[in-house]
Structure 1
Amino acid sequence: MDQEQRISKRELFRNFWRLAKPYWVSEERWRAGALLAAVVALSLGIVYMNVQFNAWYSVFYNTLQNLDAKGFWQAIVKFTWLAGIYIVIAVYANYLQQLLEIRWRRWMTEHFNQRWLDHQGYYRLQLTDKETDNPDQRIAEDINQFVSLTLGLSLGLLRSVVTFVSFVSILWALSGPLSFAFAGRTWEIQGYMLWVALIYAAVGTAITIWIGKPLVGLNFEQQRREANFRFALIRVRENAESIALYEGERQEAHTLRTRFQHVLANALTLIGRQKRLSWFTTFWGQLAIIFPMLVGAPRLFAKEIQLGGLMQIVNAFGKVYDSLEFVISSFNSLAVWKAVIDRLALFERGLFKAGALAVIAPAPAEERFDAAALEVRKPDGRVLLADLAFSLQRGERLLVQGLSGTGKSTLLRTLAGIWPFAQGRTAYPDDALFLSQRPYMPLGTLRELLCYPREVAVDDATLAELLHKVHLPHLAGRLDEVDSWSHILSLGEQQRIAIARALLERPQVLVLDEATSSIDEPTESALYQTLIRDLPGAIMISVGHRSSLRAFHNRFLDCQGEGRWALS
Structure 2
Amino acid sequence: MRRLGHFLSDAWTVAGPYWRSEERWRARLLLGVVILLNLSLVGMSVLLSYWNREFFNSLQEKNAEAFWALLFWWRQTDSGPMPGFVFVAALYILIAVYALYLRQALQIRWRSWLTREVLDRWLADRAYYRVALTDSGTDNPDQRIAEDLRQFVDNTLALGLGLMRSVVTLFSFVLVLWGLSGPATILGITIPGYMVWVALAYAVVGTGLAHLVGRSLIRLNFQQERVEADFRYALVRLRDNAEGIALYGGEADEKRGLSDRFGAVIGNWWAIMVATKRLTFFTSGYAQVAIIFPFIVAAPAYFAGRIPLGGLTQTSGAFSEVQGALSWFVDNYSSLTEWRATVLRIRGFIGAIEEARAAAGSGIQAVPDGGDELVLEDVTIRLPDGRVLIENASARIAPGEAVLIAGRSGSGKSTLFRALAGLWPFGHGRVHVPAEGRLFLPQRAYLPLGTLRRAVCYPRDAAEFSDAAIHEVLEAAGLGHLTARLDEVETWDRLLSGGEQQRVALARALLLQPRWLFLDEATASLDPEAESRFYKLLKERLPGTSLVSIAHRPAVAQYHHRALRVRDGHLVPAPA
TM-score (norm 1): 0.96
Aligned-partner Cα distance in 1 for 2:487–2:474 = 14
**2:366 match: secondary structure:** coil
User: 1:478 Cα deviation (Å)?
Assistant: 1.7
User: 1:113 Cα deviation (Å)?
Assistant: 1.1
Q: Residue 129 of structure 1 contacts residue 350 of structure 1 at CA under 8 Å; is this kept in 2?
A: no
Q: Give aligned pairs, total.
A: 559
Report the AA paired with residue 545 of structure 2. A
Quick check: 157-166 or 187-196, which moved more?
Answer: 187-196
Aligned-partner Cα distance in 2 for 1:442–1:208 = 49
Aligned-partner Cα distance in 1 for 2:572–2:397 = 17
Aligned-partner Cα distance in 2 for 1:256–1:227 = 12
**2:307 match: secondary structure:** coil
The answer to whether the aligner puts 1:80 opposite 2:119 as a matched pair is: no
Q: Residue 201 of structure 1: which of 195, 200, 203 is its match?
A: 203
1:493 is matched with which residue?
500
**1:361 match: secondary structure:** strand
Q: Residue 306 of structure 2: which of 304, 307, 311 is its match?
A: 304
Quick check: 448-457 or 42-51, which moved more?
Answer: 448-457
Q: Residue 47 of structure 1: which of 42, 51, 66 is its match?
A: 42
User: 1:567 Cα deviation (Å)?
Assistant: 5.1
Quick check: 143-152 or 380-389, which moved more?
Answer: 380-389
2:476 is matched with which residue?
469
Partner deviation per Cα, 1:273-296 (whole Å, 9 max, x = no partner)? 111111111111011111110110
User: 1:498 Cα deviation (Å)?
Assistant: 0.6
User: 1:103 Cα deviation (Å)?
Assistant: 0.6
Aligned-partner Cα distance in 2 for 1:441–1:328 = 51
Q: Residue 366 of structure 2 contacts residue 433 of structure 2 at CA under 8 Å; is this kept in 1?
A: no
Q: Residue 453 of structure 2 contacts residue 462 of structure 2 at CA under 8 Å; is this kept in 1?
A: no
Q: Residue 163 of structure 1 contacts residue 319 of structure 1 at CA under 8 Å; is this kept in 2?
A: yes
Q: Residue 285 of structure 1: which of 284, 287, 290 is its match?
A: 287
The answer to whether the aligner puts 1:19 opposite 2:14 as a matched pair is: yes
Q: Residue 360 of structure 1 contacts residue 425 of structure 1 at CA under 8 Å; is this kept in 2?
A: yes
Partner deviation per Cα, 1:298-352 (whole Å, 9 max, x = no partner)? 1111111111111111010000011000011100100000000000011001101
Quick check: 314-323 or 240-249, which moved more?
Answer: 240-249
1:124 is matched with which residue?
130
2:321 is matched with which residue?
319
1:95 is matched with which residue?
101
The answer to whether the aligner puts 1:518 opposite 2:518 as a matched pair is: no
Aligned-partner Cα distance in 1 for 2:537–2:211 = 71
User: 1:564 Cα deviation (Å)?
Assistant: 5.6
Q: Residue 369 of structure 1 contacts residue 539 of structure 1 at CA under 8 Å; is this kept in 2?
A: no
Quick check: 223-232 or 78-87, which moved more?
Answer: 78-87
The answer to whether the aligner puts 1:553 opposite 2:553 as a matched pair is: no
Aligned-partner Cα distance in 1 for 2:379–2:569 = 14
Aligned-partner Cα distance in 2 for 1:265–1:54 = 47
Q: Residue 374 of structure 1: which of 376, 379, 383 is its match?
A: 379
Q: Residue 564 of structure 2 contacts residue 571 of structure 2 at CA under 8 Å; is this kept in 1?
A: no
Gap change, CA 1:305 and 1:150, over 3 Å in 2: same
Gap change, CA 1:9 and 1:409, over 3 Å in 2: farther
Q: Residue 404 of structure 2 contacts residue 550 of structure 2 at CA under 8 Å; is this kept in 1?
A: yes
User: 1:188 Cα deviation (Å)?
Assistant: 2.2
Gap change, CA 1:509 and 1:8, over 3 Å in 2: farther
Aligned-partner Cα distance in 1 for 2:311–2:177 = 11
Q: Residue 366 of structure 2 contacts residue 419 of structure 2 at CA under 8 Å; is this kept in 1?
A: no
Q: Residue 446 of structure 1 contacts residue 481 of structure 1 at CA under 8 Å; is this kept in 2?
A: yes
1:403 is matched with which residue?
408
**2:475 match: secondary structure:** helix
RMSD: 1.5
Gap change, CA 1:9 and 1:491, over 3 Å in 2: farther
The answer to whether the aligner puts 1:427 opposite 2:432 as a matched pair is: yes
Report the AA paired with residue 513 of structure 2. R
Q: Residue 514 of structure 2: which of 507, 513, 516 is its match?
A: 507
2:351 is matched with which residue?
349
Trace 1:384-403 onto structure 2 (pairs within 5 A).
384-403=389-408
The answer to whether the aligner puts 1:535 opposite 2:556 as a matched pair is: no
Trace 1:268-283 onto structure 2 (pairs within 5 A).
268-283=270-285
Partner deviation per Cα, 1:452-511 (whole Å, 9 max, x = no partner)? 111133233222221222222222222222211111111111111111111111111110
User: 1:260 Cα deviation (Å)?
Assistant: 0.9
User: Structure 1: where are the runs of 5+ without partners?
Assistant: 1-5
Partner deviation per Cα, 1:44-98 (whole Å, 9 max, x = no partner)? 0001111101111221111111111111122223222111111111111011001
Report the AA paired with residue 346 of structure 1. G
User: 1:387 Cα deviation (Å)?
Assistant: 1.9
Gap change, CA 1:8 and 1:113, over 3 Å in 2: farther
**2:429 match: secondary structure:** strand
2:369 is matched with which residue?
364
Aligned-partner Cα distance in 2 for 1:179–1:81 = 41
Identity rate, percent: 47
Aligned-partner Cα distance in 2 for 1:401–1:365 = 27
Q: Residue 8 of structure 1 contacts residue 342 of structure 1 at CA under 8 Å; is this kept in 2?
A: no
Gap change, CA 1:368 and 1:553, over 3 Å in 2: same
Q: Residue 360 of structure 1 contacts residue 415 of structure 1 at CA under 8 Å; is this kept in 2?
A: no
User: 1:560 Cα deviation (Å)?
Assistant: 1.2
2:153 is matched with which residue?
147
User: 1:9 Cα deviation (Å)?
Assistant: 5.6
2:23 is matched with which residue?
28
Q: Residue 60 of structure 2: which of 31, 47, 65 is its match?
A: 65
Aligned-partner Cα distance in 1 for 2:356–2:3 = 20
Quick check: 490-499 or 72-81, which moved more?
Answer: 72-81
1:3 is matched with which residue?
none
**1:362 match: secondary structure:** strand
User: 1:248 Cα deviation (Å)?
Assistant: 1.5
User: 1:427 Cα deviation (Å)?
Assistant: 2.4
User: 1:367 Cα deviation (Å)?
Assistant: 3.5
Aligned-partner Cα distance in 2 for 1:7–1:42 = 34
1:414 is matched with which residue?
419
Aligned-partner Cα distance in 1 for 2:485–2:87 = 64
Q: Residue 250 of structure 1: which of 249, 252, 258 is its match?
A: 252
Quick check: 73-82 or 293-302, which moved more?
Answer: 73-82
**2:565 match: secondary structure:** strand
**1:542 match: secondary structure:** strand
Partner deviation per Cα, 1:21-50 (whole Å, 9 max, x = no partner)? 111111111110110000000010001111
Aligned-partner Cα distance in 1 for 2:274–2:93 = 37
Report the AA paired with residue 245 of structure 2. I
1:261 is matched with which residue?
263
Aligned-partner Cα distance in 1 for 2:266–2:381 = 44
User: 1:366 Cα deviation (Å)?
Assistant: 4.4
**2:384 match: secondary structure:** coil
**2:489 match: secondary structure:** coil
1:172 is matched with which residue?
178
**2:356 match: secondary structure:** helix
Aligned-partner Cα distance in 2 for 1:388–1:7 = 51
Q: Residue 212 of structure 1: which of 214, 219, 231 is its match?
A: 214
Quick check: 168-177 or 36-45, which moved more?
Answer: 168-177
Aligned-partner Cα distance in 2 for 1:340–1:363 = 39
Aligned-partner Cα distance in 2 for 1:375–1:208 = 57
User: 1:375 Cα deviation (Å)?
Assistant: 1.5
**1:133 match: secondary structure:** coil
